[in-house]
Amino acid sequence: MVIRVAVVGATGRMGRLAQRLIDESDDLALHAAISSKDSLDALAGADVVFDVTVPAVSPGIVNAALDRGIPVLVGTSGWTAERITTLRRRVQDAAPGVVIIPNFSLGSALATAFSVLAAPWFDFIEIVESHHAGKVDSPSGTAIRTAELIGEARANVGPVAAPHADQRARGQQVASVPIHSLRHDGLSARQEVVFGGTGETLRLVHDTHSDASYEAGILLGLRAAANTEGVIVGLDRLLDLGLPR
């Protein structure tokens, strides 16, 4: 069976990448390539909607797809725990479902999993994430998810040590984890999670060198979204890395 995909955000970098991958796949077909200027009526008839827009627009895309009975793969940042909770109330455990993947890189998913494993063992944890100057949101969706999962992993030991939260230079706290965001020309994507303990530090770093790192994750997400129920968050869920939902 061929999965018909409507790409919303088709003129952006990820939208163009998705269209190429769809064109090259035997089991995927491009149903519609939708830009910010196009009507969402073009979603009708698609098997999956792939949202790669911007945080302010993304919830409207998801709701428009669900209104039409179409499952959604979300590749847009900005889906915080609060926003996802609201979405879960609407979707429950029924179809069509929504798959939210802040980062389609396998290495990024593994780095987050390793961070969750280390989280209960260090009281000082901070995240430094760097992206190209054109990235409109900060912190990144990957950093937010990493911090939220670290917070869950520390449920029995308490929040991380992050004094002087009133000082903006100490970072924006998510689930008690300070996050520092860099947006520069010349950068692609990097996330570094720094763990501090008595007499030692541990650094978990993931670098993205090209968009090729996202290809396998995008294809996996599109195929999974076509038959999903409820809300699934994170590439790690599709890879069954054992992280919390």
Q: Which of 65, 67, 75 minimizes the C-alpha distance to 9? A: 75
Interatomic CA distance for residues 72 and 199, integer angstroms: 46
Q: What residues contact 43, with CB distance under 8 A and at least 6 apart?
A: 6, 8, 32, 34, 49, 64, 65, 68, 70
* pTM, rounded to two decimals: 0.86
Residues 37 and 72 in one domain: yes
Query: What are the angstrom distances between the C-alpha of 71 and each of 33, 34, 48, 206?
Result: 16, 16, 5, 30
* CATH number for 172: 3.30.360.10
Tally of structural domains, the chain: 2
What one-character DSSP code corresponds to residue 202?
A: E
* CATH number for 21: 3.40.50.720
**Domain containing 163: what range?**
106-209
Residue 245: inside a domain? no
Catalytic residue ranges: 131, 135
Residues 120 and 133 in one domain: yes
Query: What are the angstrom distances between the C-alpha of 68 and each of 2, 37, 60, 201?
Result: 19, 20, 12, 50
∠ CA 35-86-237, nearest 5°, is 80
Interatomic CA distance for residues 24 and 172, integer angstroms: 41
- Is the link from the previous residue into 96 a cis peptide, with omega within 30 of 0? yes
pLDDT digits (tens), the chain, 245 positions: 899 999 999 999 999 999 999 999 999 999 999 998 899 999 999 999 999 999 999 999 999 999 999 999 999 988 888 899 999 999 988 889 999 999 999 999 999 999 999 999 999 999 999 999 988 889 998 999 999 999 999 999 999 999 898 899 999 999 999 999 999 998 889 999 999 999 999 999 999 999 999 999 999 999 999 999 999 999 999 998 877 66
For the record, the structure tokens of 129 come out as: 């994430």
